[in-house]
Chain A
Amino acid sequence: MLTRGTLAISNSTENLPKVRSFVLDHFRKGPLPKSEENKIILAVDEAVANIIEHGYPADVRDGKIEVEIVGEMTRFTVYVRDEGSSFDPNSISDVDIENHIKTGKKKGLGVFLMRKIMDEVVYHFEEGKMNELKLVRYVPEKKKETPSGGGGQTL
């Protein structure tokens, strides 16, 4: 285990910078290359922003959201848990961005980004208790080197 931590916030978009900072701290202790940093922060930000917007009724100010990060040698896993309405992001179809532009649609892009960035987006819920979204990004495999002058055969 390289890094592990949990952040608890209430359902306000004011807390998004806190979430991003928490992800950044653990990302830097985790296994992924720097080139993944902005994307992972974005994917988690989108997951939490979705819960803030859709998970709890507008008048609920103390809705709980928990972000747990587990950074291992081979993968970086983020669990986002809440007690609001259940919503499976995998039920949303992919976005047609040209149509978004044509129709002037401004929302509905977060799930698309989350799925594009992460290797696994797994949703689990216990009715009336808890929703859990598991986001996994695996460490990219290093390319195997081709032996010099070896005719391009891969070992």
Chain B
Amino acid sequence: MKGGIVYLSVEGFLDAHTFEMMDAEIQDQFEQGNYRVIIDLEKVEYISSAGAGVFIGNLSVAQENEGEIILIKPNDNVKEVFDLLGITLMFKICYDLREAVSAFPA
């Protein structure tokens, strides 16, 4: 098993102004060999396609390395954007940290 489980808590807006910071953080974890990533979205008030694109664009890299990107606690507005993009079923979305930890591939 490569790396441990990484927990990232995000706050504020994930839009065209901030998405690069989120992307850099995930890339940084990948470079350290951590491909099992939990991203806590509870404090994210708003997400645009630029923000969602970071998760979309990094998911396959995580999965190719026996990992996963698991999104937890998105609010209704964030979940609505995932639904509009049609990615709700492509990501593991959890509402509890314990559930998220046990959702990683064995």
Q: Which residues of A contact B (CB under 8 A)?
A: 13-14, 16-17, 20, 38-39, 41-42, 45-46, 49, 52-53, 97-98, 100-107, 109-110, 112-113, 116-117
How far does the alpha carbon of A29 sit from the alpha carbon of B48 in the complex, in Å? 23
Closest CB in chain A relative to B65 CB, distance in Å: 12
Given contacts A16-B16, A104-B58, 12 further A-B contacts (CB under 8 A): A13-B17, A17-B15, A39-B80, A46-B49, A104-B60, A105-B53, A106-B56, A107-B53, A110-B50, A113-B84, A116-B84, A117-B84
Q: Which residues of B contact A (CB under 8 A)?
A: 13, 15-17, 23, 46, 48-50, 52-54, 56-61, 76-77, 80-81, 84-87, 90
Given contacts A42-B48, A105-B57, contact A52 B16 (CB under 8 A): yes
| A13 and B15 within 8 A (CB) | yes
| A100: chain B residues within 8 A (beta carbon) | 53, 56-57
How far does the alpha carbon of A14 sit from the alpha carbon of B77 in the complex, in Å? 21
Given contacts A14-B17, A45-B48, A53-B16, contact A97 B86 (CB under 8 A): yes
| A97 and B56 within 8 A (CB) | yes
Q: List 24 A-B contacts (CB under 8 A).
A: A16-B15, A16-B16, A16-B48, A17-B13, A38-B76, A38-B77, A38-B81, A45-B16, A45-B48, A46-B49, A49-B15, A49-B48, A97-B85, A101-B60, A104-B57, A104-B61, A105-B53, A106-B53, A106-B54, A106-B56, A106-B58, A110-B48, A113-B85, A116-B84
Closest CB in chain B relative to A56 CB, distance in Å: 14
Pairs of residues from A and B, 5 with the lowest C-beta to C-beta distance, nearest first: A106-B57, A109-B49, A13-B17, A49-B16, A106-B53
Closest CB in chain B relative to A117 CB, distance in Å: 7
In the complex, the chain B residue whose C-beta lies closest to that of A98 is B90
CB < 8 Å neighbour of B84 from A39, A49, A98, A104:
A39
